[in-house]
Amino acid sequence: MATPNYGYEKRQKELAKKRKKEDKLKNKTERKESGDLPESDSQEAVDHDKPSGDSGSGVATT
């Protein structure tokens, strides 16, 4: 009986992972270009609407 070639199996698994990662990255960039994904800038715009600083804390400083 032949012995298993673990090196070959490991290499094939690594190549499959690499291919899957590249496909995910490619799909992500395509969706971003087409406008399906919200950009991080839109999240920052929402944060700017919140009151900032001590103006809303109710604590008076003298």
Per-residue pLDDT reduced to its tens digit, 10-60: 999 999 999 999 999 999 999 998 887 555 555 555 555 555 565 555 666
Question: 42: which 2 tokens?
Answer: 């839109």
Reference 38, options 28, 24, 50, 51; nearest CA is 28
Give the pLDDT score at 23.
Answer: 98
Q: Could you tell me how far CA 61 lies from the centroid of its own chain?
A: 42
Q: Is the pLDDT assigned to residue 62 strictly greater than 90? A: no
CB of 31 closer than 8 Å to CB of 37:
yes
How many helices (H) and strands (E) would you count in the chain?
2, 0
Decide which of 61 and 31 is more confident.
Answer: 31
* Segments of the chain assigned E as strands: none
Give the pLDDT score at 31.
Answer: 92
Give the pLDDT score at 7.
Answer: 97
